[in-house]
Amino acid sequence: MHQSSLLYLILIFAVSLFLSQQSISFVFAQSQNLEEHLGLFGNGNNSLLNDVFNNVKDSVVQITTEYQDPNYPGGLYDSTGGAPIPMKFGSGFVYDDSGIIITNYHVVSSATNIIVTFNNGNSYTAKVVGVDPYGDISILKLDNPAGEKLVPVTLSNSSNLKVGDPVLAIGNPYGLDNTLTFGIVSQIGRLLPNSDLGYSIPNVIQTDAAINPGNSGGPLIDLDGKVVGMNTAIFSNTGAYTGVGFAIPSNDIIRIIPSLIKTGTYEHPWLGISGSKLSPTLAEVFGLGHNYKGVLIEDVVPNGPADKAGLNGMLIQGNRYGEQQIIDKDIIVEIDGKPVSRIDDIISYLDINKKVGDKITLTVNRNGQIVNLVATLDARPDLPLQEIQSQSEPDNEIRPNTPFPNFKLPELPDFKLPELPNFNLPGLIIPFTR
């Protein structure tokens, strides 16, 4: 055989061998992935999800709240028994072996009686001993849980979460106790508006794990069985699950709970401003770059920290044609040297990194001039004052009654703190028993 032909055959053999090895490696890798998936979702009678659920289920509780019916102020029943005390369901989890239970503020707010039920069916009354309405966190203390084996959860570091991480939600949707749902972390760092209080909860976890009324206050758990968040709200037009749920990050719980145990309250740092993301349209109107980033300050609360530091709200003036123009404006571009582009960035930075009494430096573009202002943070006032946030990009709709040309402050999405499911009234027929 000619030498060149021999070399050619050797080359073909080497390439074939290499491709065969790659195919074997690919098949082996695929089989490993298959084994991992089978282990996660179930193979025979065993799965990772089974193990996680079994390790955490005794730490999760059902919270039944009773409310005084205004139509029956004395708590009386009519002759037919048709007017029982209203009852609703929520969820919670064990914090420590002293009987502290963590749940949402909105789960127990205004309740006249609270009953905590464990996975084994044991029930105890409980009292609210600490609340943080702005963070939607409350802690309960069990009344005389003598003999109950309390299994505290392990709180994880939620800052380690990444989009795509698998998570589990355990709770009592619609009063169906010990329900497990599974999903992923859809996004992190969301700002959750609370129209009732006027403030927002920053750095919230978004998940597609099913969360429904009754899940509120239950834990969001990673595959190690550690709590990474507390299920709190859903995005829905109907009040039921639509694929987008929200959980308060565990780092907030870790930061806030010790103060609630010690003093019953928690003070959030407050700057006292309202503002919105600077749109490209407005940036060009102000003579700035198309993608200039910053928070346009609309209003400053009188005598608040920002006002005392010298931050100004917008000054708007009408011309002889009846058109409104922004004459003076402050745009926050940095806080403590860190760039900001949304009001979310400011709220999140303060809530995570600062406390009441701390000083912050605001770098401000004031009509084209950069100035640095130092503010001392106060506690949020008892009466809620708005800190307005822009949840999405402004569109190009022209609104003649606004001072912003081609600018619209978007409506907030319909975020809901799920209504707690009502207890079944006597006489109603249900197609199942529990």
Active site (catalytic) residues: 106, 136, 216
Distance from C-alpha of 303 to C-alpha of 58, rounded to nearest angstrom: 49
Distance from C-alpha of 48 to C-alpha of 58, rounded to nearest angstrom: 17
296-to-104, 144, 190, 341 alpha-carbon distances in Å: 33, 53, 20, 9
Q: Which residues are within 8 A (CB) of 176 and not within 5 positions of it... i.e. 6 or more apart?
A: 214, 434
The encoded tokens of residue 110 equal 């205004």
- Distance of alpha carbon 130 from the chain centroid: 20
3-state secondary structure of 123: strand
H-run or E-run covering 65:
strand 60-66
Residue 294 near residue 331 (C-beta atoms within 8 A) = yes
Q: Please measure the distance between the N-terminal and C-terminal CA atoms of the chain and give it in whole angstroms.
A: 83
For residue 313, how many other CB atoms are within 10 A of its CB? Answer: 20
Query: Considering just the CA atoms, what is the radius of gyration of the chain in Å?
Result: 28
Distance from C-alpha of 387 to C-alpha of 192, rounded to nearest angstrom: 12
The encoded tokens of residue 350 equal 């303060």
The encoded tokens of residue 251 equal 């780092």
